[in-house]
């Protein structure tokens, strides 16, 4: 089945980015959030991002208007009824995601595929909350979706080949490089990145080097575009803690056990850029 209409559950930073990517790629998109105000706020952010692209002559005003014309927002989950594909982009809470998929399963037509933007949770658990587990697949965009060139497709043990093929073609259609992984903790990217970032955090925790020097070593010594400590602050220490905790619970691999300092910082509200303070101070 050719995908024409896409639903994105959540219109915050990640969800709004996915909405933008889909709309600028020619898809009709519907999106929801907790309130109408949250949806309006998310769509306004998309307008601002596209306006900047027009100002930089990266797209025309006509292309911007056409993309925005393809987006419809609501706080009513029933708008997903006739979508061909619905991608959830809610908080990384398994029970929340399972309840959402169970609700979508009752609302959406039998044709509808379900995608999850999870970065670490088992796709199969969400799939089994529906009556169509073979139609559930991981579609993991990276932060921020309009800029990052990759999308990670995760095939659970019950995902059908038809669904996997759909997800791969969808990823290519929104101009992303597609990589495919089995439904394992961390999939491809986080399975590589999380141990590296946690190792850097442990180096800082043990007083081996400053955050600045650890990051400088990665940037200047390993040619990384950003150091691991700065990267942790960028995507959020609460997110890092949640992902690493889940991966450790699944695997018991000491390389992904979250360091104590990370737990303490999250409890103190030091979440990185989003809170103004993390390993670095962003309030200055």
Q: Which residues are catalytic?
A: 119, 140, 152, 190
Q: For the chain, where are the E strands, in sequence order? A: 5-9, 28-32, 71-74, 85-88, 113-116, 136-141, 150-155, 177-182
Nearest to 131 by CA among 160, 101, 161: 101
Q: Specify the residue for token string 């915050």.
A: 12
Instruction: Assess contact for 139 and 171: CB atoms under 8 A.
Output: yes
Where residue 10 falls (left for φ over 0; alpha for ψ -120 to 50; beta otherwise) is: left
Helix (H, G, I), strand (E, B) or coil at 12: coil
Alpha-carbon distance 277 to 42, whole Å? 24
What is the torsion angle, in degrees rounded to the nearest 10, for the CA atoms of residue 37, residue 43, residue 44 and residue 45?
110
Extract the tokens encoding 225.
């575009």
């Amino acid at each position: 089945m050719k995908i024409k209409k896409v639903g994105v559950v959540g219109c915050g930073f990640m969800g709004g980015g996915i909405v933008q990517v889909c709309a600028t790629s020619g898809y009709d998109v519907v999106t929801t959030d907790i309130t109408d105000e949250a949806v309006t706020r998310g769509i306004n952010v998309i307008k601002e991002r596209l306006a900047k692209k027009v100002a930089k002559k990266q797209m025309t005003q006509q292309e911007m208007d056409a993309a925005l014309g393809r987006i419809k927002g609501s706080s009513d989950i029933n708008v997903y009824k006739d979508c061909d594909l619905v991608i959830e982009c809610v908080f990384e809470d398994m029970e929340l995601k399972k309840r959402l998929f169970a609700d979508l399963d009752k609302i959406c037509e039998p044709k509808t595929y379900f995608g999850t933007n999870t970065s670490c949770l088992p796709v199969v658990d969400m799939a089994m909350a529906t009556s169509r587990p073979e139609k559930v697949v991981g579609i993991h965009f990276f932060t921020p979706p309009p800029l990052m060139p990759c999308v990670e497709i995760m095939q659970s043990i019950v995902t059908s080949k038809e669904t996997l093929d759909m997800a791969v073609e969808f990823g290519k259609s929104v101009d992303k490089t597609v990589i495919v992984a089995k439904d394992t903790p961390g999939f491809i990217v986080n399975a590589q990145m999380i141990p590296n970032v946690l190792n850097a955090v442990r180096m800082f925790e043990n007083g081996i080097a400053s955050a600045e020097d650890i990051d400088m070593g990665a940037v200047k010594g390993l040619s990384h575009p950003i150091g691991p400590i700065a990267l942790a602050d960028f995507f959020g220490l609460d997110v890092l803690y949640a992902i690493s905790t889940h991966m450790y619970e699944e695997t018991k691999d000491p390389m992904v056990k979250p360091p104590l300092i990370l737990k303490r910082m999250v409890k103190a509200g030091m979440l990185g850029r989003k809170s103004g303070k993390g390993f670095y101070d962003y309030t200055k």
